[in-house]
Structure 1
Amino acid sequence: MTDSAGSSDVAEFTEDTFLGGQLHLRQPRSGHRAGHDAMLLAAATPARSGDRVVEFGAGIGAAGLAVARRVAGIELVLVEIDADLAVLARENAAANAIAADAVVLDVASAAPAFAAAGLGPDSVDIVLMNPPFNDAARHRASPDKALAHLADASTLENWVHAARRILKSGGVLSLIWRADAIGEVLAALDRGFGSLAILPVHGDAGKPAIRLLVRAVKGGKAPAHILAGLMLRDESGAPDRGVQDILAGKGVLPLAIP
């Protein structure tokens, strides 16, 4: 996709704006593309200035860079398995004048690989992630979408395990996942995480949730709680104004408020 100087074939990419024009991102024209999920994840992440924040499966860096745009002074690390996407993430950070380190790393790697990338145990305040969530046994994806979308039975568990390893005690994991797989989320977080806050995301009012946004605390002891659902569209089918404000960078979701 890109050469060593970071130049690229314009025909293969689009230039897109997020957060109401506050964030400008280049991304591949085909394959997995950043969208609402990334912006909702960023708006649900409770980062504070001075925090070390790591995005797993960062792709072009959309969610992590959106957090950095909202919260000045974080130390941002973007972890991505695809070297070409990592280059794009690095370019996007520079284009938006955001300090960020893009690391080429498989989230399922063992602890030594993380340590070699500067992500040793108990060294991070916040991890945010949008893991591959489609069951590979039930979905067929084109090769350029496979890594971004397809998961096996161990994917979520592996990603949560990696987050648990690098988070400090009291550190926060923020994730988005399929609502119909809530059991997998709860099982993956059962070891080492607590104080869960769960926000169901509904495509349409009156219909079942399609996504879950979850905040979990390493070593947290408070009871889990489920927040009132977020409706992307209102009863008339029109985009919800509150959600549109959040996507435009004019507010945050309740999960971002500790």
Structure 2
Amino acid sequence: MTDPVLELTEDAFLGGQLRLKQLKSGHRAGHDAVLLAAATAARAGDRVADLGAGVGAAGLAVARRVTSVDLVLVEMDAALAGLARVNAEANAIQAEVIVLDVEADATAFAAAGLKPDSVDAVLMNPPFNDPARHRASPDVARGTAHMATATTLLKWIHAARRILKSRGVLTLIWRADGIAEVLSALDHGFGSLQVLPVHGDARGPANRILVRATKGGRAPTQIHPALMLNDEQGVPNERMQEVLSGKGSLPLANP
């Protein structure tokens, strides 16, 4: 029996600075990945791990903005990990791709080359839909990518905390109505939190939050002015269009 042929699309990100092959159906990278990358604090020479990387969109976008990072893309789905390798090579970005479940134990992480206290920056877009309030997609891969369990966030943050160096930075994106879950999950081992609410438009509540947390940080929590993807008339925000086209970063990425 032969493997089914995957139907792919090739899509432009960062105003065409990044071109990615991804599955035509199932989980597809979009604005969330670009916003996460634009919020990630990283410097040249940093070891940066993208947990649950999918086809590599967020991690590769960080590497496109910050030159000479040591990028590691971690993805449990072998097909998506294969596309991440293809995308890194096609965009001339050096990246190590590891097929690994983010919820695996420390031994599995170490065997894959991600030892405790070895990474400068982690970014992640964990599955965040509450299955009690969202109907799961009939596409199994898409459902796995989007649906959280009661322990998903805690386990992903634990994995990030384990591999980060002291004072290393975690950046994540989550649904806005789950902010209490995020703050609770970060309460052990992280501090110096910065929260950036993201609104689809100026007329509605935030639907995403971007959060930066420092391992061992002690500074007070900061809440940044909200980002509006569109104005009250539904017109795309000019500043945000610059960020989405790869011409700038978000405040959480500042040193």
Instruction: State the TM-score, normalized to the length of structure 1.
Output: 0.95
Matched, 1:107 2:64: no
Which of 105, 123, 126 is equivalent to 1:131?
126
Which of 202, 212, 217 is equivalent to 1:215?
212
Tell me whether 11-20 or 98-107 shows the greater mean CA deviation.
11-20
Matched, 1:141 2:140: no
**Matches of residues 193-204 of structure 1 in structure 2 within 5 Å?**
193-204=190-201
What is aligned with 2:19? 24
What is aligned with 1:226? 223
What is aligned with 2:47? 52
Secondary structure of the structure 1 residue equivalent to 2:117? coil
Q: How far apart are 1:132 and its partner, in Å?
A: 0.0
Kindly provide the amino acid, as one letter, of the partner of residue 233 in structure 2.
S
Q: How far apart are 1:206 and its partner, in Å?
A: 3.1
Q: Structure 2 unaligned runs (5+)?
A: none
Q: How far apart are 1:144 and its partner, in Å?
A: 2.6
Q: Deviations over 1:205-234 (max 9, x none)?
A: 031100000000000000001000000001
Q: How far apart are 1:127 and its partner, in Å?
A: 0.3
CA distance in 2, matches of 1:242, 1:201: 13
What is aligned with 1:37? 32
**Matches of residues 1-258 of structure 1 in structure 2 within 5 Å?**
9=5, 12-139=7-134, 140-142=136-138, 143-258=140-255
Q: How far apart are 1:135 and its partner, in Å?
A: 1.4
Secondary structure of the structure 2 residue equivalent to 1:135? coil
Kindly provide the amino acid, as one letter, of the partner of residue 63 in structure 1.
A
In the TM superposition, structure 1's runs of 4+ consecutive aligned residues that sit over 3 Å from their partners are: none
Secondary structure of the structure 2 residue equivalent to 1:88? helix
| Corresponding pairs, count | 252
Secondary structure of the structure 2 residue equivalent to 1:205? coil
Q: Deviations over 1:48-96 (max 9, x none)?
A: 0000000000000000000000111100000001001000000000000
Kindly provide the amino acid, as one letter, of the partner of residue 231 in structure 1.
M
CA distance in 2, matches of 1:199, 1:207: 16
Q: Structure 1 unaligned runs (5+)?
A: none
Q: How far apart are 1:147 and its partner, in Å?
A: 1.4
CA distance in 2, matches of 1:209, 1:235: 14
CA distance in 1, matches of 2:48, 2:21: 22
CA distance in 2, matches of 1:83, 1:136: 24
Kindly provide the amino acid, as one letter, of the partner of residue 220 in structure 1.
G
CA distance in 2, matches of 1:46, 1:158: 22
- Identity percentage of aligned residues: 68
CA distance in 2, matches of 1:85, 1:53: 19
Q: How far apart are 1:236 and its partner, in Å?
A: 1.4
CA distance in 2, matches of 1:204, 1:21: 24
Q: Deviations over 1:13-43 (max 9, x none)?
A: 0000100110010000001100000000000
Secondary structure of the structure 2 residue equivalent to 1:46? coil
